[in-house]
């Protein structure tokens, strides 16, 4: 529970922690590859770079790509060569995998065209270079910042820097601070953190947690509780019963009086009956039914169809069947 509480506090603190970046300075120089380099320490949010979150940053670099013809923006020829050199420089500078490259591409044009044309041309130049850089650094998503003819130059400025997110650093600092706190202060801090949460998150988390605990309890009960064996329903025996005579009137063979055994039993509030005749079926089973009318119908059908012809003499002799007419 102690470790869980510390982890919860650390996670909340990382999510809400913010800081402000400090201004830096710049130095301009030119390489023998025809690319102007500006070693920059300042990072300005006006160029589209987020400076609100605290980050570990290496010094920023700017590369000026020039040599565009009038109205040109495609990455080809001398422009493609400069972009290729720039990609190699960034890959060489990225020596630590924990740092991710952040790129801003600023497009510019000269004053020859109209303001609208120069705005569009500066954007096209920045987007073309940004697309080339993104293909070499997947997941980077360069920021495109067209500046129109503000600089009066047919060029693209690429600013890049390596940034490491602060959570790892913040988490270590938070853990160190939490370790120095007393138990009562930690508990108070947990309570304050929970109270600062939005109500829907707090109660939603409680409901999800309770449902999860209930599921675990249910699964444990099903897993460890002894399984009951299925018990077959107990057969209720029939009462001794009584012998009754049923008159069977046929169309062609006359009328017979058949001695039938009537039995019954009670299952709950329900009473069941069964009528068993002395006649046998072709499979030597008793001709029987649960209703009197059904056994009469079966016997009538069997006598009329001569199914019981072989059985009649012996049954009449034993007195179980009487020929009335």
Which pLDDT band holds residue 162 (cuts at 50, 70, 90)? confident
Say whether both 280 and 160 belong to one domain: no
Report whether pLDDT(50) > 60.
Answer: no
Residue 136 included in any domain: yes
Whether residue 158 is found in the same domain as residue 249? no
Q: Across the chain, what does the average pLDDT equal? A: 76
Phi, psi of 192 (to 5 degrees): -65, -40
Q: In terms of domains, do 22 and 155 share one?
A: yes
Angle between helices 2-16 and 183-195 (to 10 degrees): 50
Domain count, the chain: 2
Question: Is 316 a member of any domain?
Answer: yes
pLDDT band at 156 (very low <50, low <70, confident <90, very high): very high
- The answer to the question of residue 228 being in a domain is no
CA distances from 165 to 3, 94, 158 (A): 24, 15, 22
Of 116, 145, 165, the one marking the end of a domain is: 165
Residue 43, pLDDT above cutoff 60: no
Distance between CA atoms of 295 and 258, rounded to whole angstroms?
A: 11
Q: How far apart (Å, rounded) are the C-alpha atoms in residues 57 and 193?
A: 30
What share of the chain has pLDDT > 90, as a percent? 18
Q: How far is CA 36 from the centre of its chain?
A: 51
Signed CA dihedral, 137, 138, 143, 145: sign only: positive
**Domain membership flag for residue 119:** yes
Please indicate, yes or no, if residue 229 is contained in any of the structural domains: no
Is residue 13 in a domain? no
* pLDDT 10s digits, 191-233: 666 666 677 677 888 899 899 999 999 988 888 877 776 666 6
- Point out the domain boundary residue: 140, 165, 190: 165
| CATH code of residue 160 | 3.30.1330.60
Q: Domain of 63?
A: 18-165
Domain boundary among 115, 145, 165: 165
Could you tell me which residue, 157 or 7, shows the higher pLDDT? 157
Do both 31 and 145 map to the same domain? yes
pLDDT digits over 247-304, tens only?
888 888 888 888 888 888 888 888 888 888 888 888 888 888 888 888 888 888 888 8
Does some domain include residue 202?
no
User: Is 104 among the domain residues?
Assistant: yes
């Amino acid at each position: 529970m102690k470790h869980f509480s510390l982890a919860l506090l650390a996670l909340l603190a990382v999510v809400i922690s913010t800081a402000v970046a400090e201004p830096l300075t710049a130095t301009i120089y030119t390489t023998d590859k025809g690319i102007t380099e500006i070693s920059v320490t300042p990072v300005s949010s006006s160029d589209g770079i987020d400076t609100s979150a605290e980050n570990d940053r290496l010094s920023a670099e700017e590369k000026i790509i020039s040599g565009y013809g009038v109205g040109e923006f495609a990455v080809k020829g001398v422009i493609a060569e400069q972009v290729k050199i720039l990609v190699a420089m960034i890959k060489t500078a990225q020596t630590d995998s924990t740092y991710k490259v952040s790129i801003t591409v600023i497009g510019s044009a000269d004053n020859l065209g109209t303001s609208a044309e120069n705005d569009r041309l500066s954007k096209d130049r920045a987007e073309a270079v940004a697309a080339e850089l993104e293909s070499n650094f997947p997941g980077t998503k360069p920021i495109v910042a067209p500046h129109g003819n503000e600089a009066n130059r047919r060029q693209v400025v690429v600013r890049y820097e390596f940034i490491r997110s602060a959570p790892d650093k913040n988490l270590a600092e938070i853990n160190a601070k939490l370790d120095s706190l007393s138990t009562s202060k930690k508990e108070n801090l947990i309570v304050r953190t929970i109270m600062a949460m939005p109500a829907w998150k707090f109660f939603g988390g409680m409901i999800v947690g309770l449902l999860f605990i209930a599921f675990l309890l249910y699964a444990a009960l099903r897993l460890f509780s002894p399984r009951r064996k299925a018990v077959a329903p107990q057969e209720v025996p029939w009462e001794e019963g009584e012998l009754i005579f049923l008159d069977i009137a046929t169309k062609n063979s006359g009328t017979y009086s058949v001695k039938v055994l009537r039995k019954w039993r009670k299952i709950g509030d329900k009473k069941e009956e069964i009528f068993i005749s002395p006649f046998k079926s072709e499979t030597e089973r008793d001709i029987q039914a649960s209703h009197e009318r059904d056994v009469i119908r079966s016997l009538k059908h069997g006598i009329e169809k001569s199914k019981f012809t072989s059985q009649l003499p012996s049954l009449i002799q034993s007195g179980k069947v009487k020929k009335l007419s």
